Chain A
Amino acid sequence: MTTHYLVLSALLFAIGGIGVLVRRNAIVVFMCVELMLNACNLAFVTFARQNGNVDGQVIAFFVMIVAAAEVVIGLAIIVTIFRTRRSASVDDASLLKY
């Protein structure tokens, strides 16, 4: 009965993951990360429903809070990088290496 939700969740997670790997724009990568987080949330909620308890729902709330905090910091970093380097490409920010 809940299989469709889980399949949707997996599809969303896969789309998000591929987006993170293949896209260069930091904003898009960021959005893909959010997509993966929300795919997880969907899975949590689905399992909560399936098992008949609220644990998964509680965790989904936590994930939202973490995602909100992450957006705040992540966007701030992206904006700062864009201001100094005139680029939002994640490949350009590659100074921290061997």
Chain B
Amino acid sequence: MEPAEILSHAGGGAISLAWLMIVLPLAGAAILLIGGRATNKWGHLLGVLMSVGAFVVAALVFLQLIGLDPAQRRQSVNLYEFIPGVANIGLLIDPLSISFCLLITFVGSLIHVYSIGYMSHDPDRRRFFAYLNLFVAAMLLLVLADNYVALFIGWEGVGLASYLLIGFWQYKPSAAVAAKKAFVVNRVGDFGLLVAMFLIFAQFGTLSYAEVFPNAAQASQGVQTAIGLLLLLGACGKSAQLPLQSWLLDAMEGPTPVSALIHAATMVTAGVYLVVRSGAAFFPEGSTAGLVVTIVGVATLLAGAIIGTAKDDIKKGLAGSTMSQIGYMMLAAGIGPAGYAFAIAHLITHGFFKADLFLGAGSVMHAMNDEVDMRRYGGLRKLLPITFVTFFIGYLAIIGFPLLSGYFTKDGIIESVMHHNAILGWLAVLGAGITGFYMTRMVVMTFFGPKRWDEKAHPHESPAVMTWPLIILSVFSVGLGAYLILSNRLLVFLAPAVGQPAELPVFHPFSVPGLTTLALVAVGAGIAIAKYGRSEVPVVQPRGSFLTVFARRDLYGDALNEALFMRPGQWLTRLAVFFDNRGIDGVVNGLAAGVGGSSGRLRKIQTGYVRSYALSIFVGAAVLAGAWFVVGTL
């Protein structure tokens, strides 16, 4: 089934007020940033209120949307004409965008609440909430836009908010560098998105979804593929997919709620959103661009999982896992309508359990004086019972423990990919096995085994304002997957926005790939328990084998970037500087020095002796007279 037509909203109901979703958090950010210190006392409450307000609006819009006939569920609300004939600022309310809105505002609100406790000792808490609100507003604009221009504004806004939040503790050089790195790497992706937009405009004369999508098939195959690949480059930048993955691991320098909100639950999903949104038009089933998306997805899901196995920093381990899970979503998004629903389902459940895991990690760090090295944790399960239980549920969900969220969504992805391309499918299964290993390793090292922290740490359970969001997130991590996948609820709901496959998938609990996945996860978990649970974990990181170092160094991604881009770039700048100094400046300075030097010598003629002047006058006169004489006789 093809996606439904985008209708112009006739007005009325919550849909015409959908703009409030963006404006509320934006206003929150503006008030907190302009109000400055005067808002310090209640700034965090305002931030939470605005985020919750956006959620309420999103929920109302959702309720109105599901009341409509499925064919009517794509409505665009025009706000004003931005570039006449090219792009209006308008909102597209459809099942896809509203799913994202609910995820962003709900998880976002919980993270806002959690941040009240997590950042309570930070003197800049108000500024933190302002940036969080800014981020939520930008992300909502990104997913609600009904054209690529407005999407791009949100896209850049997300990049900006992410930069501000990663570098929130900018007095730490590592945080400042990480923020810059994220910004620069994202810029590479933005370049791809921009060029894709240029191509779309050149081809279709407009950037509005309603006019581009139905006409996409009229473009030549080559143009379609080029646009698809450029959009993918943009998606890779935002979603930390290979080859633009390097920023995500460093982005863990930001406060932990940032990692949970931006680098797990929402921002990194923007790339998946872009691919799914443009999917029917530029990544049709069986297209080259779609194939490249799946390859990128598989490569990233394996790379992220391998990186996750070797990290001792709990947040970096989770970051590797985020990369990997987003890889699954990309993989599913690349295979066409059969995968979209699973990509989005995994995206939503991942949003919940990854936020749960990150916030749990934050709670552990909060208890351990901001220690992030898992080798210095151990045996925390009795001291942090709520954190432990919620983290454990998130853990079970992410490894795909039967009947929890991740089980249904990841299995759905693997099954649908298996039908599409068996090799990719088995690689995805392998990735799931590695996930079982590194997540088990993380849980064992953090919560089980003997205490490895030093005397100064006094682990304590976090306050209720931090544990309640954890509890809510973990409840969703348990049940959401089953709800979305069973009887194809999400697939049918999303069908008007992204289309649906001719044959509806049926959930098989005992298929070969499904059972293999479970077996591999069990093996991975078993190895992790044997390696880290049964034997002593050294407090100081051992040197490790070649493979461990390979994974620990992010598969030498940074080294590769350094060798391929940074060093040649430096040579280029050095060459340019050399050319500028010696070439351009050399000519100018040489000329000046030549004139200066010769005039310095020439002025010595001015001796001040009247008689020498007189002599030169005589000589000159004699020469003139002689010349005249010679010329006259000739």
Contacts and interface: CB of A to CB of B under 8 A. Distances in A.
A93 B607 CA distance: 11
> Which of A20, A24, A93, A95: most chain B Cβ within 10 A?
A20
B611 A20 contact: yes
B578 interface: no
Contacts of A97: 606-608
Give chain B's interface secondary structure class. helix
Interface string A80-96: 00000000001101111
A98 B606 contact: yes
Interface string B608-620: 1111001100100
A96 to B, nearest CB: 6
B121 interface: no
A95 B608 contact: yes
Nearest to B622: A17
B603 interface: yes
28 contacts: A17-B618, A20-B614, A21-B611, A21-B614, A21-B615, A21-B618, A24-B611, A29-B610, A90-B609, A90-B610, A90-B611, A91-B609, A91-B610, A91-B611, A93-B610, A94-B607, A94-B608, A94-B609, A94-B610, A95-B608, A97-B606, A97-B608, A98-B603, A98-B604, A98-B605, A98-B606, A98-B607, A98-B608
A40 to B, nearest CB: 13
Contacts of A29: 610-611
Nearest to B621: A17
B622 to A, nearest CB: 10
Interface of B: 603-611, 614-615, 618
Give chain A's interface secondary structure class. loop
Interface footprint category on A: 10 to 19
Interface string A20-35: 1110100001000000
B608 to A, nearest CB: 3
B599 to A, nearest CB: 10
B610 to A, nearest CB: 5
Nearest to B602: A98
B499 to A, nearest CB: 89
Contacts of A24: 611
B618 A96 contact: no
A9 to B, nearest CB: 15
A98 to B, nearest CB: 4
A41 to B, nearest CB: 18
Across the A-B interface, give the 6 residue pairs with the lowest CB-CB distance, nearest first: A97-B608, A94-B608, A98-B603, A98-B606, A90-B610, A97-B606
A98 B449 CA distance: 90
A91 B615 CA distance: 14
A90 B615 CA distance: 14
Contacts of B603: 98
Contacts of B610: 29, 90-91, 93-94
Interface in A1-50: 17, 20-22, 24, 29
Given A97-B607, A98-B608, 11 more contacts: A21-B614, A22-B611, A90-B610, A94-B610, A96-B608, A97-B608, A98-B603, A98-B604, A98-B605, A98-B606, A98-B607
Nearest to A24: B611
B505 to A, nearest CB: 96
Contacts of A91: 609-611
Contacts of B607: 94, 97-98
B617 to A, nearest CB: 9
A29 B608 CA distance: 16
Nearest to B605: A98
A98 B599 CA distance: 11
A31 B604 CA distance: 29
> Which of B603, B604, B611: most chain A Cβ within 10 A?
B611
A51 B609 CA distance: 41
A35 to B, nearest CB: 14
